[in-house]
Every structure is written in C-alpha cells, then in structure tokens.
Amino acid sequence: MTYAETLARAALDAKAPRAADAPTVISTFAGRGGSSTGYHMAGYRELLAVEWDDHAVATLRLNYPDLDVWQGDIAQLSVTDVLERTGLKVGELDLFDGSPPCQGFSTSGRRAMDDPRNQLFKEFTRLLRGLMPRAFVMENVTGLAKGKMKTVFAEILQELKACGYQVTAGVINAAYLGVPQARERVIFIGCREDLGITPTLPAPQTRFVTVREALADLPDRSTGPAQMVAQKWINVWARVKPGHDFASVHPKGNLFNYWKLSPDKPCPTITKTISSGSGPGIYHWKHPRLLLIDELTRLGSFPGTYLWPGDPTTDAKDHQQAWAGIGNAVPPLMARAIGLHIKETLF
C-alpha cells in the first residue's frame, strides 16, 4: 500500500468498534491526541485523556467527542478521581501513557537542571503508583539522555522501577515505525513486576517513507495564506539545497531553524515553534512557502480526516496552533507501533 493508503487504513482502525476485551489505556499530557490516535489505531479503548491546554483539549474533543477529557493541572487529579471516572479498580488498567512536558530537557533550550517542568514526570509516577496498570509508556526528548541530563535520566529510570515495574528505555526514531519524519524520542516501557514479563522496545519495522511519497496524493500548490517566504529571504531560499537549512548559504543570523525539505528523505523533526508567515519553520523544496497544514498533518502521521480547531488553512493563528500541536505530538503511527508491540509482547 502507499503511505496514504496505510494511513487511511489505520484511521479506519481507529474509528472501528472496540471489542469487549480490548486493552484499555489512559493518556496523560495528551496534547492534541497523537498518542491517543495511535492507541485507537492499535485497537485500544481509551478511558480518559488528561490535558490542560485549551487548544489541545478543543482538538481532542473535536476528534473524540465521546472520550472523557479531564482538563486541568495534573497535580490536582487524584488517583481516586481517575478510578471513579473510569470505573476501574487498582491494577485493572492495561496501559498508562504519558509525555510529560520536556522543554527543560530539550537540546533546543537551556537544559536547566532545576527547570520546574522537569519535575512533571513525578506527577506521572504518582498516578502510576496509585493505578498500578499492567504496563506503561512514557515518552520524552532525546536531550534527556545526553550530557548532564543523563543524571536526570537515571533518576527517572530508578523512580519508574521503584513504582514496581520492570523497565526498558531507549531512543526510537519514528522514521523506522512508518512515520515520514526523522523524529527521535526516548521511550520508556514498563511492565508490572508481578506479571513476570520483561518489556522490550519495538524493532524497526519499515524502510523510510520519503516526503514525496507521503505527500504524493496532495495537490501541488505554489502559494498558501500567510506562509510565503519573506522577500528578503527569497534569494536565500532559492540557493539552499533541499535537505539543508538557510544557514548553509547565509551563516549570519539564526537561520538554522529555517529548513528546506528534501522530497527524497523523511521530514526532519517538526518542532512546535514557527513564526507567522516568514520565520523559522519547514519550507517546501519547490515553492517558496512554509508547509501547509494538510502537509504537516500528513508528515506528522495524523489522518487526513483529523480536525483542527478554527481554520488553519486560512487563519495564521489557527495555523500556528495546529503546527505547534503536531510539533509537540507523538506521531500517531509511532504510538500505534508501540501500542501493537505492547499488545503482542506484554498482553
């Protein structure tokens, strides 16, 4: 199947009725639904999604109107609240998922050891200890396992094991799991000790899907609203070879965040930060513009039917928020592969 057909098939799986014995999942730090969509694609029954951001919650509710979405500070969500909302008892949940905000660990930031955002994983472990699911998945940036942050990585690994789990962790590239994006993330997978099963990470499954293959069935558009290269950078964009940043031909300034796609490789990591119209972001290789939202959706492995609040095709602010959501998200096909691996090896 083509990439578009694969994604469409996975989208149908996500909407299919759940079997009575389908594995259950709760998603924390759920964002715009990347992990949720992936687990839906893998046949899980999501009982609860936890998120505080207004745009993210609106996105979740737009795409999953029947999903129970708890909005607020996760520190205010008790284990009792979760059990009452889901009808579960301690130990009955199959999978507990979370992607604690990771700006404090990211190699693109200051990587401050005392960044308060680095402590949000403790809210994850607090709920993990209380719910005692059969398995858990926790995702974070690769900066967590580099340089001075290795001590934080070791602390997180130790605390997860202390919750009563056998744990494995490693860096996984989404491009090896069917996503047309070279996005590396640290993935922790744990299995409750009493089950006597050693967790493993999913092995590479596919060859790389290129940008050209991923976007093959989308219309070839030369322009997009509020997304053209600024006139002062037109000559720079024209000189940049596909697969390189603007700094490769114009070393002055902070232009390494301006990236020109190569159609014959996976997309580089989609980051959440762009500037309206002509700032940092990922630019088309053929047309002097930022990527359009349907292109970003496809490269992020969200289904083409996925809905974004407002009108990101014409409104610059809506476009930026949807872009940020895709940049923050675990790509659905990556979450799907992890979810299927857990079903096959742990359940």
The answer as to CATH 3.40.50.2300 being correct for domain 3-208+330-345 is no
User: Picking from 154-163, 297-306, 328-337, which range would have the lowest pLDDT averaged per residue?
Assistant: 154-163
Cβ 98 vs Cβ 39: under 8 Å: no
Q: Which residues contact 95 (CB under 8 A, 6 or more apart)?
A: 23, 24, 25, 26, 39, 44, 133, 134, 135, 136, 137, 339, 342
Tell me the whole-structure pTM to 2 decimals. 0.93
> pLDDT tens digits, residue range 69-128?
999 999 999 999 999 999 999 999 999 999 887 555 545 555 454 556 557 888 999 999
Rounded distance between C-alpha atoms, residue 52 and residue 206, angstroms? 35
Assess whether pLDDT exceeds 70 at residue 251: yes
- All CATH 3.90.120 domain ranges of the chain, comma separated, are 211-327
Percent of the chain with pLDDT over 90: 72
Assigned token pair, 197: 């099963």
Residue with tokens 């000189």: 239
Active site residue 102: yes
Q: What pLDDT is attached to residue 102? A: 54
Cα–chain center distance at 224: 25
Burial (0-12, 13-18, 19+ Cβ within 10 Å), 222: exposed
- All CATH 3.40.50.150 domain ranges of the chain, comma separated, are 3-208+330-345
Out of 102, 163, 191, 267, pick the active-site residue. Answer: 102
Q: Which CATH architecture has domain 211-327?
A: Alpha-Beta Complex (3.90)
